[in-house]
Structure formats: C-alpha cells, structure tokens
C-alpha cells in the first residue's frame, strides 16, 4: 500500500467504523480494502500518534504565543464514557485549550473556535493531569488570564488549585444551573411555579452571582426529610463553588462562562467515532483510534503524512 493510500485509508478509518470505511473507499476510489486491514493500519498509526502527541505537548516551540494584554487562554476538562470490552463503560477524560483570539463570531448569537489544542486519557486523573500540565505549564505567566471553565468535580478543582493557583476558575454556568433546576423538580410540585422559579434563578445567577442564589435557596422551607436533604446537597455544592460563580463580573470582563466548547470536544474527539452503532472497544483500541483523531484535531496530520513518506 503506497504512503498516499495509507494516508487516505487511515483518515477515513478515524472518521468511520472500519466496515463503513471499506465501503467508502471502494465507492469513491474503486479499491477493495478489507476492514480488518483498515483496523490494523489505524491501530498501528494510532500508537504512533500517541507518541507524536506526547512530543507536541512538551514542545514549547510549537505552542502559540499569548502576547496581547487582553488575550485570554481558556482551558476546559471533563470526563465522558466509552464502552469497552474489559470494564464495560470506561471514563475518557478530555481537555481542550484555546485562545480568546480564536473565538470568532458568525453573527450576534452564534460563533465558533477556529483552532484548539486537545488531549485525552482513558483512566486515572493523575495521568490526564500530567498531560494537561505538559502543555499548560508554559502559560503560567498569564496568571488570571489563564481561565479554567470546569464543572464541580473535586479532583479538577484540587488539581487547578495546586498547579495553577493564580488562574481564574469559573464554574460552568450551565452545570450550576442544571443542579438548581434538578433541585426545583424535587421541591416545587407545581409546574408553573417551578418554571417561573427556574427563570428567576437563571436571571439572578447571571445578574447577581452565586452568593445571591444561595441566599434565595436558603429561604426555601422544606417540610419533608427528603426535600431537606436535597436542599442541603445543593447548598453544599453551591457553597463549595461560590467563589467560582461571580458570573456578573466574568461577563463584564467579556469572559466565557459555559462549557459548550468542552461538550463539543467530547462529541467530536470521542463520541463521533467511538459511539457509532455497535461499537465496543478494547481500551488499547479505543486509545489508538482516539489518538489518531486527536492528531487530526490538533492540526498535526502532516506529521503522520511525513512519517508515511519516510518509511515507504
């Protein structure tokens, strides 16, 4: 198989399931390539991709400069799941980093990010943190202009507080609001009153911040033990994250407050390929195919092409 054909086959293989990849190649190129052969090629190049991605994380020369005083570096991280043969559902931790200069608008309501850096790890959070640090450590000088938008996971906040204490930490607005809405379904039975309360809390969270929302929830009287437990559970979560919920200030500074970019990263990096119908992976196989996709999403596919040319 020529380097060019390997390039094409691996690119299709990281986008479609192997059987569909075989069909696409046959219909578009008139070549019949067995799906097992595509599988083997993607696995081999996926292992290589993991090595290249490791080099990229460590190479400061390839990292974009954040020079303007108003420029911000955003960092997100979160976990999702992929179905594996060994342990059924296994968590895949994904990180995404980009500059505020990469935030572009198509109109007043919609926008997109034209360039990001991604990383991932299937398994423990310590290894994932190390991967993020290899990339982020060179940006420590930004201090509060390094902005983490994350959920309420304790391991994430402990890691950020230890490694990047000067960074700005924002609790994902929609994650916080989702928790508040869930609480309302447990304590407000009237649907009309519940909807109005949710709308009021949404506005208060945006305009006044977490502290005022906590005060409103503290006022709610719960007559049953189960409702009281739900209230204390929510208050505990909000109090732990209160310093990360100053949304009026963040918005005034022109900062993002939501994790839509992180959700998109999970969909495109992991779910779009690994959650296709009938997909079930070995952990090694999932790591290889996600590494191949990761290389592509980091705009480093040329590294694979050069490797194929040099080994022909």
* Structural domains of the chain, with CATH: 3-62+283-310 (no CATH), 73-171+254-265 (3.30.420), 175-244 (no CATH)
Task: Report, as an integer, the average pLDDT of 20-35.
Answer: 92
Which helix (H) or strand (E) segment is 99 a member of?
Answer: strand 88-99
Task: List phi, psi (to 5°) of 22.
Answer: -60, -40
**Sheet with 73-84, edge to edge strand ranges:** 117-122, 88-99, 73-84, 146-150, 168-171
In this prediction, residue 67 carries a pLDDT of 78
Residue pair 188/197 in contact by the 8 Å Cβ criterion: yes
Pairing of strands 73-84, 88-99: antiparallel
Q: E strand or H helix at 33, and its extent? A: none
Mean of the per-residue pLDDT values of the chain? 91
Distance CA 265, CA 143 (A): 25
Helix, strand or coil for residue 267?
helix
Residue 254 CB partners (closer than 8 Å, separation 6+): none
- Check if the beta carbon of residue 98 is closer than 8 Å to that of residue 74: yes
Q: How far is CA 7 from the centre of its chain?
A: 27
Q: Is 23 helix (H, G, I), strand (E, B) or coil?
A: helix
Q: Whose structure tokens read 């490694």?
A: 163
Say what the pLDDT of residue 175 is.
93
Q: Is the pLDDT of residue 62 over 80?
A: no
Residues 6+ apart with CB under 8 A from 129: 159, 163
What span, in angstroms and rounded, lies between the C-alpha atoms of 61 and 304?
Answer: 19
Closest to 290 in 3D by CA, of 269, 276, 304: 269
Reported as a pLDDT band with limits 50, 70 and 90, residue 75 is very high
Read off the pLDDT of residues 207-237 as tens digits, 9 standing for 90 and up. 999 999 999 999 888 888 988 999 999 999 9
């Amino acid at each position: 198989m020529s380097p060019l054909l390997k390039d094409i086959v691996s690119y299709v293989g990281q986008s479609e399931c192997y059987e569909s990849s075989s069909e696409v190649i046959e219909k578009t190129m008139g070549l019949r390539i067995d799906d097992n052969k595509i599988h083997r090629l993607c696995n081999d190049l996926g292992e290589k991709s993991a090595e290249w991605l490791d080099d990229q994380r460590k190479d400061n020369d390839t990292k974009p400069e954040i020079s303007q005083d108003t420029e911000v570096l955003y960092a997100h991280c979160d976990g999702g799941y992929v179905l594996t043969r060994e342990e059924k559902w296994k968590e895949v931790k994904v990180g995404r980093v980009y500059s505020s200069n990469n935030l572009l608008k198509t109109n007043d309501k919609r926008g997109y990010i034209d360039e990001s850096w991604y990383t991932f790890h299937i398994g423990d959070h310590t290894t994932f943190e190390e991967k993020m640090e290899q990339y982020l450590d060179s940006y420590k000088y930004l201090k509060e202009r390094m902005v983490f938008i994350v959920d309420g996971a304790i391991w994430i906040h402990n890691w950020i507080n230890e490694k990047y204490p000067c960074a700005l930490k924002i609790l994902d607005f929609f994650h916080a609001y989702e928790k508040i809405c869930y609480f309302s379904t447990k304590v407000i039975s009237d649907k009309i009153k519940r909807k109005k309360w949710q709308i009021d809390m949404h506005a208060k969270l945006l305009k006044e911040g977490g502290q005022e929302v906590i005060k409103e929830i503290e006022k709610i009287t719960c007559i049953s033990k189960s409702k009281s437990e739900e209230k204390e559970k929510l208050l505990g979560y909000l109090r732990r994250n209160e310093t990360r919920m100053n949304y009026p200030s963040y918005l005034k500074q022109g900062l993002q407050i939501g994790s839509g970019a992180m959700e998109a990263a999970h969909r495109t990096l992991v779910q779009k390929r690994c959650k296709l119908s009938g997909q079930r992976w070995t952990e090694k196989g999932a790591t290889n195919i996600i590494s191949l996709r990761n290389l592509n999403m980091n705009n480093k596919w040329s590294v694979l092409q050069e490797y194929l040319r040099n080994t022909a």
